[in-house]
Chain A
Amino acid sequence: MNTEEILIQFIRSELTFDQEDANVAVDDPLLNGPLDSLGVLRLVAFIEEKFHVRVEDEDLVPENFQTVRRIAEYIHRKSAVGG
């Protein structure tokens, strides 16, 4: 599975509960739905553990978490510079 697929699976199984939200596409807006403040914290914990990157406080901004694609791009950038 690629990064986006891993993220989608996590969001679907851990962060969304409505049937409607269950189909999360890479470009779907996350911030007004599946990701509330608790969801973001959980997602960050998952990202740090799964992808071995450290999410700095400065990185915790809406632009990096708007969609699955954006999160994946963020993870790749962080991994490229050595986490």
Chain B
Amino acid sequence: MGFLLHHLLAESASRSPEATAIKFKRENVTYGELEERSNQLAHALIDVGIAPGDRVGLCLEKSLASVISVFAVLKAGACYVPVDAHAPGPRVADIVQQCAMRCLITTAAAGERLFKTSPDRRSLERIFFVDDVPNASLPYPLQCVGLSQAISGQSKDPPALGGTNQDLAYVLFTSGSTGTPKGVMLSHLNALTFVNWGYETFNIRADDRLSNHAPLSFDLSVFDIFAGVKAGATISLVPEGLSSFPVRLAELLEEHRITVWYSVPSVLTLLLTHGKLQNRDLRDLRLILFAGEVFPVKYLRRLMKLVPHAKYFNLYGPTETNVCTYYEVEPIPEDQVTPIPIGKGCANTEVFAIDEQGQRVIGAGQEGLLYVRGSTVMQGYYARPADTERAFIRNPFSHGRDEKAYCTGDLVTLDTKGNYHFLGRRDHMIKTRGYRVELGEIESALYAHPAIREAVAVALPDELLGNKIKVFVVPEGSRPLDEREVKRHCARLLPRYMIPEDVEFRALLPRTSTDKVDRTRLNAESTKAQE
């Protein structure tokens, strides 16, 4: 009886060692090979001193190595911390520092970008390189090792470690409103609560072929990899960048005979509008799951007509809880413009909404903030006790037991069928292409520029992206500042999806009666300008 994520792999490898576990480009790895190689890497990690509870960074593109590393880190009793392979050096360094990362598995290119920044990285002792060990001279003592060198000669048997499902499995960093990202801590139990729900609800079987589109830093990947492995199914890693080439992506769907697809809606929209899906034989595609942002109804409707034999599910849930509600989409009437619901709570998870008067939302039309309770809810934010405390409330419906519920910050309403609908947020968190972005993080980055006196970021609704980001900048002094320089400055600190699309310079920003920046007015002006 497995109680840790990597037990799922051990069980499937024992049942069907020859079955294909992972496909990537022209390479395949069987369950037996995945089990053995991750055991070997786990031993290599333990040999260099990785201890249970340590944070091991994975700064890698989609690859067989990335999946092997995930299981290896878990088997060493540590938790993996995915970092976007193309994130700027300062952001990687910030994540390393925040979670006191001791070891990083990465590529030469990403490693070199990290070396060029100079913040405190005392915790980092060792870097494993999946390709070549770079020649760069290191600014501080650090052991650099090639992965294949580290693995050779290691035992293929699993490390004999204990551990409980309360231990951390991974830490996912998401945008933070005050300028630095927050690390969401998820335990094996958190992950398995979700994985087991997904496995049961969608009846994932050994003959399924799941795609993995989402990067490791997105919790959608937890379903692809772990529900897939639990079933002994085949997981096809979608090469990064293939989303930019929808015809190729559609080709992969057909060639690999994908049965289960899970991604953000904007990728599906691109597939629909530019992927020539009508030319593809997608008879094996039985399930299309989407999460992370609102799927515009007009595109979803078209997709459902194009692939009518598949079942469609809208999944909802922040990184802090993974999926907590879900909704099976029925064919959408031609005249419907309202978005589809986020649905009802998953089995073994409780969701409820509380209105402004502190009352529970029980009737159709009532609005409130959504809360989540259950073993799917995170352990907290890494080393941020104040943020963690703020994120939880004492469950007001707990009948005396002192338990907590997580506040999603999402405003919802109930319909007559008991389904929740997403209404919006109270704060400045937005979604763009499914990515979570705190407008405050962009503003903080802008404020770091010496020639920027004031900056405000707003979100403009966009059909394809969900939201586009526009910033208003008040320059400081007479130093020349142009749009290109502002974007370049952002690119030095922020991931690509947070770089504003539009920059407008103002001498003054409009203010409210309480002297705060009038964001509503800036939003209105921007929306009008778009029309």
Residues of A within 8 A of B (CB): 13, 17-19, 31-33, 35-41, 57-58, 60-62, 65
B499 touching A17, Cβ below 8 Å: yes
B241 touching A57, Cβ below 8 Å: no
Instruction: Tell me which residues across on chain A come within 8 A of B275, comparing CB atoms.
Output: 57
B488 touching A19, Cβ below 8 Å: yes
The answer, among B61, B241, B276, B490, for a CB contact under 8 Å with A17, is: B490
Instruction: Tell me which residues across on chain A come within 8 A of B86, comparing CB atoms.
Output: 32-33, 36
Sorted nearest first, the 9 A-B pairs with minimum C-beta distance are A17-B491, A40-B244, A37-B244, A17-B488, A37-B243, A57-B274, A17-B487, A57-B276, A57-B247
Residues of B within 8 A of A (CB): 61, 86, 88, 240-248, 270, 274-276, 433, 465, 484, 487-488, 490-492, 496-497, 499
B484 touching A18, Cβ below 8 Å: no
Instruction: Tell me which residues across on chain B come within 8 A of A61, comparing CB atoms.
Output: 245, 247-248
Instruction: Tell me which residues across on chain B come within 8 A of A40, comparing CB atoms.
Output: 244-245
Instruction: Tell me which residues across on chain A come within 8 A of B490, comparing CB atoms.
Output: 17
B488 touching A62, Cβ below 8 Å: no
Min Cβ gap A56→B in Å is 9
Instruction: Tell me which residues across on chain A come within 8 A of B484, comparing CB atoms.
Output: 13, 17
Instruction: Tell me which residues across on chain B come within 8 A of A65, comparing CB atoms.
Output: 244-245
Across the interface, name the chain A residue whose C-beta is closest to B248.
A61
Given A36-B496, A57-B276, A58-B276; A18-B244 close (CB under 8 Å): no
Instruction: Tell me which residues across on chain B come within 8 A of A13, comparing CB atoms.
Output: 484
A sample of 28 cross-chain residue pairs with beta-carbon separation below 8 angstroms, ordered by A number, consists of A13-B484, A17-B490, A17-B499, A18-B88, A18-B491, A18-B492, A31-B241, A31-B244, A32-B61, A32-B86, A35-B241, A36-B86, A36-B496, A37-B433, A38-B497, A39-B244, A40-B244, A57-B246, A58-B276, A60-B245, A60-B247, A60-B248, A60-B274, A61-B245, A61-B247, A61-B248, A62-B241, A62-B245
Instruction: Tell me which residues across on chain A come within 8 A of B492, comparing CB atoms.
Output: 17-18
The CA of A36 and the CA of B435, in the complex, are separated in Å by 14
Min Cβ gap B105→A in Å is 18
Instruction: Tell me which residues across on chain A come within 8 A of B241, comparing CB atoms.
Output: 31-32, 35-37, 62
The CA of A18 and the CA of B497, in the complex, are separated in Å by 14
